[in-house]
Structure 1
Amino acid sequence: MLYIQLYAVFFKIGLFTFGGGLSMLPLIEKELLLREWMTRGEFLDLVSVAQMTPGAIAVNSATYVGNDLLGFWGGIAATAGVITPSIVIILILATILMRCKGNVYKDAFFLGLKPITVGLIGYAGYTIGRATFIKTPPSGIVRFLSDYSVNYPAIGIFILAFIVLTKTKINPIWMIFMSGILGFVFL
């Protein structure tokens, strides 16, 4: 029964998000935390692994969650759930769009999707950044703003990686590797 629920959850995620894997992360996080399938820390680990693994982030995330919960067949169920809506929608849209070349309404619709996609990706960045750069008390009970502390080494690693990636042509894989080493040393 959990296989069907896993398939259905990832089917919903695949059906109701536009813009690719990064824009799916807020919905994936919400669904996983709501069902208590993962903690916030485990979700952040999921995001790290899904981004480093070759392939689409959404598929990697679904496979990771399914495998973590139910093993190999759970990974298959979650992955099938997240890709099914895309396959069906692409087949339907390809047929329709071939008939609507140059349609003003079609062009306006896709123009309207762009800011939504940017907003979803921005929110995913905000959520991950907040969890990475701000430390909460171990008890999880926060009474005052002073209970939070800033994770300065993580901010430093982020700024360094950003500068290196924008000023050089270093392969991002090397940057991930070097950031991991810096994180191990300083965090």
Structure 2
Amino acid sequence: MLLLNLFYEFFKVGLFAVGGGLATLPFLYALSAKSGWFTPTDVANMIAVAESTPGAIGVNMATFAGFITAGAPGAAAATLGLILPSIVVVLLVANLLENFHENVVVKDAFYGLRPASIALLCAAGVKVFAAAMLSFDKFCAPVSFSALASALNWKAIVFGIILYAAQKRLKWSFVSFIVISAAVGIIFKFSC
């Protein structure tokens, strides 16, 4: 039953996450809260793993989420659930678009998907920023400057600025920065 639920939930994510892999993040956070299969910290780890491995980020994240939930069968169920809607939609659209590519309604529908994609990507960016730069456990109930300052992950902010400046100056490959970031995270014990 768990595998069927994984397939179904990731099928819904694949069906409605328009705009690429990062657009799946709001859905994954909602799925985390709803199912308890993985935590928001697991989602942050999924982002790190999915960004540093080859392949589509959404598929990598679905595979990772399925694996931590139900092992290899869960990884297969979640991945299949995520990619199946895209396969079906692409096949349908390819057949229909040939006949209706000049149709005003079809053009308007595709144009209307743009704001949804942008909104999902912005929501994902805010969630990733919050996961990387804020420590919610240190945030106190009364909102004050000191509470906000203690909630900021200063090590991550300073390291991010250093990496950004180094990348602009040195023009190294992004792979180098991923390796450096992983090493610094291990050495200085960066955590969510």
Where structure 1 has 5 or more consecutive residues not aligned to the other structure, the ranges are: none
Corresponding position of 1:28: 28
Question: Under a length normalisation based on structure 2, what TM-score does the superposition of the two structures give?
Answer: 0.87
* Structure 1 CA distance for aligned equivalents of residues 73 and 89 of structure 2: 25
Deviation at 1:142, TM superposition (A): 4.2
Question: Aligned partner of 1:114: which letter?
Answer: R
Tell me the SS of whatever aligns to 1:37.
coil
Aligned to 1:60: 60
Q: Equivalent residue for 2:141?
A: 143
CA contact (8 A) 1:157 1:183 kept: no
> How many residue pairs get matched?
185
Tell me the residue number matched to 1:109.
109
Cα distance in 2, alignment partners of residues 166 and 114 from structure 1:
30
User: Are 2:99 and 1:122 aligned?
Assistant: no
Matched AA of 1:183: G
**What RMSD in Å do the two structures reach over aligned CA positions?**
2.0
- Post-superposition CA distance 1:46-84 (Å, at most 9, x none): 111111111011111111111111111111111110011
Q: Which has the higher mean CA deviation after the structures are superposed, 68-77 or 147-156?
A: 147-156
> What residue identity is the alignment partner of 1:155?
I
Q: Which moved more, 1:160-169 or 1:87-96?
A: 160-169
* Structure 2 equivalent of residue 91 of structure 1: 91
| 1:75 aligned residue | 75
CA distance, structure 2, for counterparts of residue 8 and residue 181 of structure 1: 37
Where does the alignment leave 5 or more consecutive residues of structure 2 unmatched? none
Asked if residue 174 in structure 1 is aligned to residue 172 in structure 2, the reply is: no
Question: What code does the residue aligned with 1:159 have?
Answer: I
How far apart are residue 25 of structure 1 and its match? 1.0
Percent identity, aligned pairs only, is 34
Relative to the length of structure 1, the TM-score reads 0.89
Q: State the AA in 2 paired with 1:170.
A: W
Q: Paired residue for 1:13?
A: 13
**Corresponding residue number in structure 2 for 1:158:** 160
Aligned pair in 2 of structure 1 residues 70, 159: CA closer, same or farther (>3 Å)?
same
